[in-house]
């Protein structure tokens, strides 16, 4: 695709965008001038779907008019509400319907999964994770190690990039897995690193982990709804994700879990059991003796969080209407490539401003992380004053994420113009560049 920085280019792209109509399905926050902000922060919190209020209101009405009978009566009885979410969620992560359940919140689910899939022995007890993972994952794994009487410093192995590099090489991850060998109990990586925006080669990591006898799982908080996933075909053992980022299901929203079908008929597999994971045919008999529901649903503990799930249903409806991730991914690559183009057109030296997200579109989602070596906080505040909503990560990273469901090329152009204004370089002076060639030249051989 051939990019240029003119308003006419952005307008033409938006006019030709087959997904442009979905922008109207979301509430856009106002900027300082009262006009819609350029919201490039879906990597942190997705926007409110317009259908969410009606979805939640329908459950308020059910509660108001049926009371406890809402569990069993009506269009969407609460006892089975989560079941209707499994199929559309499974399509987004590349899984079979029975391999997915919507329940709890992200870190709760990570702990539940680790109870089943991190069962260390005297010789096989180590965990491999990405260095600098999101703190929730770090804390969860530290406490899981201690739960088994292990020293986290000894049990947890963190992978860091090579000196002078910002992202991990797949070959280095595979080599570390082979080195740990039969001491490795499980691998838990983020599918997409929250800080750099790097997408990991989940298929390769899974193959390498299984080759040494380890279980392999992923925290997909920044990947679900953002990049194509094929968890079943990749043979991933377990995964979990939140729904409040790219899945637009509200602050602190519900979470998703994936468990490969080979574990579905393993009642011997250790898990923390709860009433809602019990065989639904016998659930209301109130008898002792846990009989797990076959499938990922057997890992449920408590009855469903209906109001957060209603918001999630409204968001999943938008993804379904948009045709899933195939079409969204194509637009995402164009939007993110456009943002990359505009940043590179600034011509700032890497000692001042650099993109630490991989240049290869296959190795990133819709997030670009800008490492700002000088005046980083001032740049972030300048963007905010211009109605560009991104987010700041200590010590000096600005993350900008053009989301294909609701962001436009004009949003991205506005971000580029605000960056150019900060650096006293008029954006309209930039010349068209063949973006695909530009990206290829910038891609380091780090796979």
User: pLDDT: is 284 or 146 the higher one?
Assistant: 146
- Cα separation, 305 vs 345, whole angstroms: 47
Q: Looking at the domain that runs over 2-48+324-442, which CATH code has it been given? A: 3.90.1150.10
**CA pair distance 134, 162, nearest whole angstrom:** 19
Nearest Cα neighbor of 334 from 322, 323, 342, 346 is: 342
Count of positions (residues) in the chain: 447
* Banded model confidence at residue 257, pLDDT cuts 50, 70, 90: very high
d(CA 372, CA 274): 47
Which tens digits make up the pLDDT trace of 165-177?
999 999 999 999 9
265 pLDDT more than 60: yes
Task: Write the DSSP symbol of residue 102.
Answer: E
The pTM for the full model equals 0.93
- Contact predicate 263/236, CB 8 Å: no
pLDDT band for 440, please (50, 70, 90 cuts). very low
The radius of gyration of the chain's CA atoms, rounded to the nearest angstrom, is 23
> Is the sign of the CA dihedral 176, 181, 185, 187 positive or negative?
positive
Q: What is the mean pLDDT of the chain?
A: 93
Helices (H) and strands (E) in the chain — how many of each? 14, 15
pLDDT of residue 186: 98
At residue 438 the predicted structure's pLDDT band, cuts being 50, 70 and 90, is very low
What is the rounded distance in angstroms from the CA atom of residue 14 to the CA atom of residue 6?
13
DSSP secondary structure code for residue 276 in this structure: G
Q: Is 118 left (phi over 0), alpha (psi -120 to 50) or beta?
A: beta
**Range scoring the smallest mean pLDDT among 111-120, 136-145, 244-253, 436-445:** 436-445
Cβ atoms of 400 and 43 within 8 Å: the answer is no
CB of 134 closer than 8 Å to CB of 124: no
The predicted-structure confidence for 296-318, as pLDDT tens digits, reads as follows 999 999 999 999 999 999 999 99
* Positions of CATH 3.40.640.10 in the chain: 55-320
Q: Could you tell me where the DSSP H helices lie in 99-201?
A: 106-117, 135-147, 152-155, 170-180
Predicted local confidence at residue 425, as pLDDT = 60
DSSP H helices, 100-169, are 106-117, 135-147, 152-155
Q: Where along the chain do the CATH 3.90.1150.10 domains lie? A: 2-48+324-442
Other CB atoms closer than 10 Å to residue 321's CB: what's the count?
12
How far is residue 430's CA from residue 338's CA, in Å, rounded to a whole number? Answer: 13
Share of the chain above pLDDT 70, in %: 95
Does residue 85 contact residue 317 with C-beta atoms inside 8 Å? Answer: no
The CATH class that applies to domain 55-320 reads: alpha beta
Report the C-alpha gap between 45 and 445 in whole angstroms. 32
What is the rounded average pLDDT of the residues 233-257? 98
Phi, psi dihedrals of residue 222, rounded to the nearest 5°: -100, 0
DSSP, collapsed to helix, strand or coil, labels residue 59 as helix
Closest by CA to 264, choosing from 289, 296, 300, 232, is 296
166/266: higher pLDDT:
166
Q: Are 347 and 157 in contact (CB under 8 A)?
A: no
Predicted confidence at residue 439, as pLDDT, reads: 33
Crossing angle, helix 135-147 and helix 106-117, to 10 degrees? Answer: 40
């Amino acid at each position: 695709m051939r990019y240029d920085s003119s308003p006419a280019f952005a307008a033409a792209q938006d006019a030709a965008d087959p997904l442009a109509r979905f922008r109207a399905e979301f509430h856009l926050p106002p900027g300082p001038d009262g006009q819609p902000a350029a919201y490039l922060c879906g990597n942190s919190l997705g926007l409110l779907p317009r259908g969410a209020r009606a979805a939640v209101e329908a459950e308020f009405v059910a509660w108001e008019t049926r009371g406890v009978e809402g569990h069993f009566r009506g269009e969407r009885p609460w006892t089975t509400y989560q079941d209707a979410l499994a199929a559309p969620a499974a399509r987004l992560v590349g899984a079979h319907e029975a391999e997915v359940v919507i329940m709890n919140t992200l870190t709760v689910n990570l702990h539940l999964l680790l109870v089943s899939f991190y069962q260390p022995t005297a010789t096989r007890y180590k965990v491999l994770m990405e260095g600098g993972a999101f703190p929730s994952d770090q804390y969860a794994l530290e406490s899981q190690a201690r739960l088994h009487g292990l020293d986290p410093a000894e049990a947890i192995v963190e992978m860091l990039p090579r000196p002078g590099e910002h992202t991990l090489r797949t070959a280095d991850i595979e080599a570390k897995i082979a080195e740990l060998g039969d001491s490795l109990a499980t691998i838990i990586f983020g599918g997409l690193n929250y800080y750099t925006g790097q997408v990991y080669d989940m298929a390769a990591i899974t193959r390498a982990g299984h080759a040494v006898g380890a279980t392999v799982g992923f925290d997909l908080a920044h990947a679900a709804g953002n990049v194509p996933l094929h968890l079943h075909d990749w043979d991933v053992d377990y995964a979990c994700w939140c729904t409040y980022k790219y899945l637009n299901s509200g602050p602190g929203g519900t979470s998703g879990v994936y468990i490969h079908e080979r574990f579905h008929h393993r009642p011997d597999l250790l898990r923390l059991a709860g009433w809602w994971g019990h065989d639904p045919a016998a659930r209301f008999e109130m008898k002792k003796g846990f009989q797990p529901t076959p499938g990922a649903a057997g890992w449920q503990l408590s009855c469903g969080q209906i109001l957060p799930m209603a918001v999630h249903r409204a968001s999943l409806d938008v993804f379904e209407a948009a045709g899933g991730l195939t079409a969204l991914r194509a637009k995402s690559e164009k939007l993110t490539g456009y943002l990359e183009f505009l940043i590179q057109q600034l011509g700032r030296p890497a000692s001042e401003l650099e993109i630490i997200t991989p240049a290869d579109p296959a190795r990133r989602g819709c997030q670009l992380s800008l490492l700002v070596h000088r005046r980083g906080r001032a740049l972030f505040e300048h963007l905010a004053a211009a109605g560009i909503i991104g987010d700041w990560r200590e010590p000096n990273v600005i993350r900008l994420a053009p989301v294909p469901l609701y962001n436009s090329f004009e949003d991205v152009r506005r971000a580029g113009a605000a960056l150019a204004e900060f650096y006293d370089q008029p954006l309209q002076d930039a010349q068209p560049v063949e973006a695909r060639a530009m990206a290829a030249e910038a891609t380091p051989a780090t796979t």
